[in-house]
Chains A and B, each alone.
Chain A
Amino acid sequence: MSRRASGLKAWVVQRATAIYLALFGVYLLLKLVFDAPGDYAALVEWVRSPWVALGLLVLIPVALAHAWVGIRDLFMDYVKSIGLRVTLMTVTAFVFVASGLWAMQAIIVAQIA
């Protein structure tokens, strides 16, 4: 089902994405805790700054790839029934793709609105 994310490749993907998530994640955490945009205009201005827009658009697929490898490991470890495992993986994949596209659409629309 997911040959591309199997074995060593998944291990490498998990660590490469982890490094980006750690770096951009800490920036996001500090920004939202200490300097959160106070109103809509401030939020849009922040999301429109080129490095933030690019950083967020990269973050979404990177975070989802990381989450996918992780949750796939858990399904393989704990869900012994193959039918249930494939069902859970399919539902998760659709939720991930839908969530990612929804968030990216919102960020892209904010650039031009």
Chain B
Amino acid sequence: MTPTRPVFLDLWRIRLPVPGVVSILHRISGVLMVLSIPLLAALLAQALSGPEGFAATAAFFGNPLVKLGLLVMGWALLHHLLAGIRYLVIDVGWGVDRPTARTTAWTVLVAAVAVTLIGAGGLLL
């Protein structure tokens, strides 16, 4: 049960295909959101605790560093959402062939960044 298989783990020479990049970013974005769960619960409870709590929460989101973090979290949410929809579609059996899988992977990758930047730009204006 323990055959000697060839193992190639030279990370600098492994070239991950685009669907693989989307996959690992799906995992990383998921971890980012998991890490934010306790903070989100605390912020929701604070905002709902009363006018002072709401003001404190609004001030927290007004901090430039927090806004930067929000940009990252916005990308994480959008990438996870779009990649997740792609996986659901693949589960149904559509877009499994390699050319289509690569096209949809590129679409997810680019659309998540584009929508994040458009959203950020819209909030600044």
Q: Shortest CB–CB separation between residue A28 and chain B, in angstroms?
A: 10
B66 contacts the other chain (Cβ, under 8 Å)? no
Interface size on B, residues (CB 8 A): 29
Contact partner of A67 (CB less than 8 A), chosen from B37, B41, B45, B119, is B37
B-contacting residues, A18-42, CB 8 Å: 18-19, 22, 25-26, 29, 33, 39-40
Closest residue on chain B to residue A47 by CB atoms? B48
B81 and A99 contact, CB distance less than 8 A: no
A99 and B33 contact, CB distance less than 8 A: no
Check A95/B38 contact, CB under 8 A, given A15-B91, A102-B45. Answer: yes
Q: With a 10 A CB-CB cut-off, give which of B27, B33, B37 has the most chain A CB atoms.
A: B37
A29 and B88 contact, CB distance less than 8 A: no
A25 and B81 contact, CB distance less than 8 A: yes
Closest residue on chain A to residue B55 by CB atoms? A40
A54 contacts the other chain (Cβ, under 8 Å)? no
B37 and A44 contact, CB distance less than 8 A: no
Q: Tell me the complex Cα distance, A26–B50, Å.
A: 27
Q: Tell me the complex Cα distance, A92–B30, Å.
A: 14
B-contacting residues, A68-113, CB 8 Å: 70-71, 74, 92, 95-96, 98-100, 102-103, 105-107, 109-110
Residues from chain B with a CB closer than 8 A to the CB of A67 are 30, 33-34, 37
Interface size on A, residues (CB 8 A): 31
Q: Tell me the complex Cα distance, A71–B29, Å.
A: 11
Contact partner of B51 (CB less than 8 A), chosen from A39, A92, A95, A110, is A39
Q: Tell me the complex Cα distance, A19–B91, Å.
A: 13
B122 contacts the other chain (Cβ, under 8 Å)? yes
A106 and B45 contact, CB distance less than 8 A: yes
Closest residue on chain B to residue A63 by CB atoms? B37
A96 and B84 contact, CB distance less than 8 A: no
A52 contacts the other chain (Cβ, under 8 Å)? no
B residues near A, CB below 8 A?
27, 30-31, 33-34, 37-38, 40-42, 44-45, 47-51, 53-55, 77, 81, 84-85, 88, 91, 119, 122-123
A-B contact pairs, 17 of them (CB 8 A): A15-B91, A33-B122, A40-B47, A40-B50, A40-B54, A43-B47, A43-B54, A44-B48, A67-B34, A70-B30, A92-B34, A99-B37, A99-B38, A103-B41, A103-B45, A105-B45, A110-B48
